[in-house]
Structure 1
Amino acid sequence: MAIYPVGQALQPPVDRFNGMNALYNIVSMHELSIAASLVESAEQAARRAGAQRVTQVFLRLGALSGVAKDALLFSYDVAAAGTLLAGSRLVIEDVPVVVHCEHCRRDVTLPGIQDFRCPICGQPCAQIIAGRALEIAGIEIEVEDQAALQPAT
């Protein structure tokens, strides 16, 4: 087993689930499309690395990404079915919102996404430093020959 760095931001999702109307009522289509894009990107990286199977996918998910974490976790299993990622685990790292406070002249982490005021001085902050992430940080894969494992380019 090996951890394979991917470091790939997800592209706008492609809808590969046309005709699955039963799921439309259960899962947000937004998250299902994102899960499909995530699976497609991770599977491409796994194939480039010579993987037989993906056991874990590590995702960085920003508080401002617009993605519902629970819906994405549910959608992931549906999207992964029939791929190298079938049965794998999606591990999500929550990325908080970090803004730059012009008044304090430093980057600060916000306690939530409702108020974009510096938690130190109370001044409004307009410059977002972090919190929009939707990125595959890496994948854990199984390969037949560990010597064949090479990072993707």
Structure 2
Amino acid sequence: MHEMSICEGILQVIEDQAAKQAFSRVKKVRLEIGPLAGVEMEALMFSYDVVCRNSIADGSELDVIKLPVSAWCMQCSKPTEVAARYDACPDCGSYQVEITGGDELRIKDMEVE
């Protein structure tokens, strides 16, 4: 379950920022996650609660912003969105599509005290 290690990484970032910015509690963490990141949302939510117990982020809310799969269609020469990797361009039907986003997993921001 790599979601546990993802949450450990999130907590490490939180603790590093708390030391730098001198805050004492995290109320909310917002993540941006693309569908190609390979993250199981239920496992992530469960792991976050477990990893954050007895830490500066104990009881904080994890808010996930789901990003689209963005792509560049070489046939249309324009950006587009597809549902999954290897899908055809929704405009022209070409499979000459280069994925440009959708595999992100990053902390967008945090609400702290």
> TM-score, normalising length from structure 1?
0.70
Instruction: List alignment gaps of at least 5 residues for structure 1.
Output: 1-28, 143-153
Q: Tell me, yes or no, if the aligned pair for 2:15 and 2:56 is still in contact at 8 Å.
A: yes
Q: Tell me, yes or no, if the aligned pair for 2:89 and 2:97 is still in contact at 8 Å.
A: no
Distance 2:112 2:23 in 1: 6
Q: Which has the higher helix share?
A: 2
Distance 2:96 2:24 in 1: 47
Q: 2:101 aligns with which of 130, 145, 149?
A: 130
Distance 1:62 1:91 in 2: 14
* 1:119 partner SS: coil
Q: Deviations over 1:83-136 (max 9, x none)?
A: 1100000111101100000111111111x2264210111101442111010101
Distance 1:114 1:131 in 2: 9
Q: 2:11 aligns with which of 28, 39, 46?
A: 39
Distance 2:100 2:36 in 1: 11
Show the counterpart of 2:53. Answer: 81
**Residue 43 of structure 1, CA deviation:** 2.1
Please list, as runs of the form range in 1=range in 2, the aligned pairs for 1:108-123 lying within 5 A after superposition.
108-110=80-82, 112-113=83-84, 115-123=86-94
Instruction: List alignment gaps of at least 5 residues for structure 2.
Output: none
Q: Tell me, yes or no, if the aligned pair for 1:57 and 1:89 is still in contact at 8 Å.
A: yes
After superposition, the CA RMSD in angstroms is 1.3
* 2:72 partner SS: strand
Q: 2:44 aligns with which of 69, 72, 76?
A: 72
How many percent identity over aligned positions? 35
Q: Deviations over 1:38-69 (max 9, x none)?
A: 11112211331111100001111011111111
Show the counterpart of 1:140. Answer: 111
Show the counterpart of 1:90. Answer: 62
Aligned positions, number? 113
Q: Tell me, yes or no, if the aligned pair for 1:99 and 1:130 is still in contact at 8 Å.
A: yes
Q: Tell me, yes or no, if the aligned pair for 1:42 and 1:57 is still in contact at 8 Å.
A: no
